């Protein structure tokens, strides 16, 4: 009975999240409480389960708040503008270079862990180039989606934070083994950009004639590389009153210092970003009014993610404390064929990208992952092995899912269709996720 109630609780949450009927916070707070009451637990016991769940996620929630604030402030100051403008300037007229630049700019834009800001940075800057050179805007979305998704393995991005909150682990420790996978993934994305860029160049040449036509199209964009760079730099700093061009090296040192502290593990990740925010704000915005405005500007994104993590803590605390997850695992092991059990994490990993299209990120990590982890553990698969298989298999498809709000923003900015985006991007990104899974197996991450 306990496993049935637990399964019904998780299934209800998944359905509500897929249909978008309620906020993830409401689904992950109310439904588990109803399930626990149906299982015969009292409110005082449920309160104890809640406290246990909060203990496991509070550090992750704190890190999310200050990481999003920190990188939001860094973007406000214009820290990344010169690099982005330079990449745009040097790639004009060269289709392969533009494809590679798209990957690099998207990776930089995703440093704050927000897909929405990545699309806001990349699409307005690059879409005119793609259109002028007759490049497919769906290629633009594919390259941004793949690059941003691989960068989404950062500890302050959503998937790792969700996973860490489920297994009660420090998110930076969860991230360390994924660093080589992330590096290899970015190298593969650059390789994919070169291949698709070459294919796009050949297609355009066949459709619009000799590459001289491309140069003529590009000429309208180019004055001289020096003039472009000067105009881009001037625009980025004069149109943005928040930018601090004279402090760019100071901000770069602050950002490098915070990331170094994070990687070193000397202090908790949340404290590292808290220090970064506390140092960067007064240096760039001495007036208290300006400091308050910067915090308010990014507070919505920061608090939204933190509240979801806290709600997940309540959900997991109740399901774990009540014994529902254990009951589901025991019954799942009993009915699953023995030959399949040891490979369950790999099967789910291979299907991770399609799952991302069918399930929301919250449903995948908060509902599916705990069940798979418990069942796989019954067959002797380590929790971290299951976690890494499901993260690597799923994360590459983050920005082709119709359940990801940032994707709809991207489609709105570019004027494209969801169906065609999935059709164009799914084979390449699903293939990339499977290749990364194989590499993770070869290097021992899984």
Task: Please state, for a pLDDT cut of 70, what percent of the chain lies above it.
Answer: 86
CB 326 within 8 A of CB 364: no
Q: Euclidean distance between the first and final Cα of the chain, in Å?
A: 34
**So what's the pLDDT on residue 8?**
87
**So what's the pLDDT on residue 404?**
72
In angstroms, rounded to a whole number, what is the distance separating the alpha carbons of residues 198 and 441?
Answer: 30
Count of helices and strands (H, E) across the chain: 23, 0
Cβ density class 95-107: b for 16+ within 10 Å, e for less: bbbbbbbbbbbbb
SS3 40: coil
In angstroms, rounded to a whole number, what is the distance separating the alpha carbons of residues 127 and 99?
Answer: 12
H-run or E-run covering 378: helix 369-378
H-run or E-run covering 444: none
Q: Which two tokens stand for residue 238?
A: 């004069």
Angle, vertex CA 357, rays to CA 353 and CA 361, nearest 5: 85
In angstroms, rounded to a whole number, what is the distance separating the alpha carbons of residues 361 and 185?
Answer: 20
For tokens 């000067």, the residue is: 230
Task: Give the chain's residues under pLDDT 50.
Answer: 211, 213, 217-239
In angstroms, rounded to a whole number, what is the distance separating the alpha carbons of residues 273 and 270?
Answer: 5
In angstroms, rounded to a whole number, what is the distance separating the alpha carbons of residues 299 and 235?
Answer: 27
Residues 6+ apart with CB under 8 A from 84: 105, 108, 109, 121, 125, 236
Report the candidate in 326, 328, 370, 331 with the shortest Cα–Cα distance to residue 348: 370
In angstroms, rounded to a whole number, what is the distance separating the alpha carbons of residues 446 and 440?
Answer: 6
For tokens 């769940």, the residue is: 53
In angstroms, rounded to a whole number, what is the distance separating the alpha carbons of residues 169 and 152?
Answer: 18
**So what's the pLDDT on residue 278?**
94
Domain boundary assignment for the chain: 2-442
CB 118 within 8 A of CB 144: yes
């Amino acid at each position: 009975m306990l496993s049935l109630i637990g399964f019904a609780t998780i299934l209800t949450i998944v359905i509500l999240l897929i249909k978008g009927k309620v906020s993830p916070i409401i689904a992950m707070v109310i439904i588990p409480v109803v399930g626990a009451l149906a299982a015969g637990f009292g409110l005082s016991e449920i309160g104890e389960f809640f406290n246990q769940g909060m203990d496991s996620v509070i550090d992750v929630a704190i890190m999310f708040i200050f990481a999003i604030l920190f990188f939001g402030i860094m973007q406000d100051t214009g820290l990344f503008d010169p690099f982005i403008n330079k990449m745009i300037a040097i790639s004009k007229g060269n289709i392969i270079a533009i494809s590679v630049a798209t990957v690099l700019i998207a990776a930089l834009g995703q440093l704050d862990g927000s897909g929405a800001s990545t699309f806001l940075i990349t699409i307005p800057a690059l879409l005119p180039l793609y259109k002028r050179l007759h490049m497919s805007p769906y290629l633009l979305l594919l390259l941004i989606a793949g690059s941003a998704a691989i960068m989404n393995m950062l500890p302050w991005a959503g998937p790792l934070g969700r996973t860490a909150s489920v297994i009660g682990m420090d998110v930076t420790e969860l991230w360390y083994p994924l660093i080589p996978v992330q590096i290899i993934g970015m190298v593969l994305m650059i390789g994919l950009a070169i291949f698709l860029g070459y294919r796009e160049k050949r297609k355009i040449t066949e459709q619009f004639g000799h590459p001289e036509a491309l140069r003529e199209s590009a000429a309208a964009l180019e004055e001289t590389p020096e003039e472009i760079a000067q105009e881009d730099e001037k625009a980025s700093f004069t149109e943005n009153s928040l930018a601090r061009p004279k402090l760019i090296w100071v901000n770069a040192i602050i950002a490098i210092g915070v990331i170094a502290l994070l990687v070193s593990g000397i202090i908790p990740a949340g404290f590292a970003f808290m220090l970064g925010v506390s140092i960067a704000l007064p240096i760039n915005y001495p007036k208290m009014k300006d400091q308050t405005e910067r915090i308010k500007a990014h507070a919505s994104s920061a608090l939204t993610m933190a509240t979801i993590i806290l709600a997940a803590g309540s959900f997991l605390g109740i399901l774990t404390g009540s014994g529902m997850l254990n009951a589901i695992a025991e019954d799942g092991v009993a009915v699953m064929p023995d030959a399949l059990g040891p490979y369950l994490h790999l099967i789910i990993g291979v299907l991770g990208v399609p799952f991302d299209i069918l399930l929301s990120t919250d449903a995948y990590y908060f509902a599916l992952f705990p069940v798979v982890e418990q069942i796989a553990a019954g067959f002797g698969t380590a929790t971290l092995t299951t976690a890494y298989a499901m993260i690597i298999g799923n994360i590459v498809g983050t920005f082709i899912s119709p359940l990801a709000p940032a994707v709809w923003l991207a489609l709105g900015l570019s004027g494209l269709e969801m169906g065609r985006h999935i059709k164009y991007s799914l084979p390449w990104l699903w293939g990339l996720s499977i290749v990364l899974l194989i590499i993770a197996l070869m290097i021992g991450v899984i």
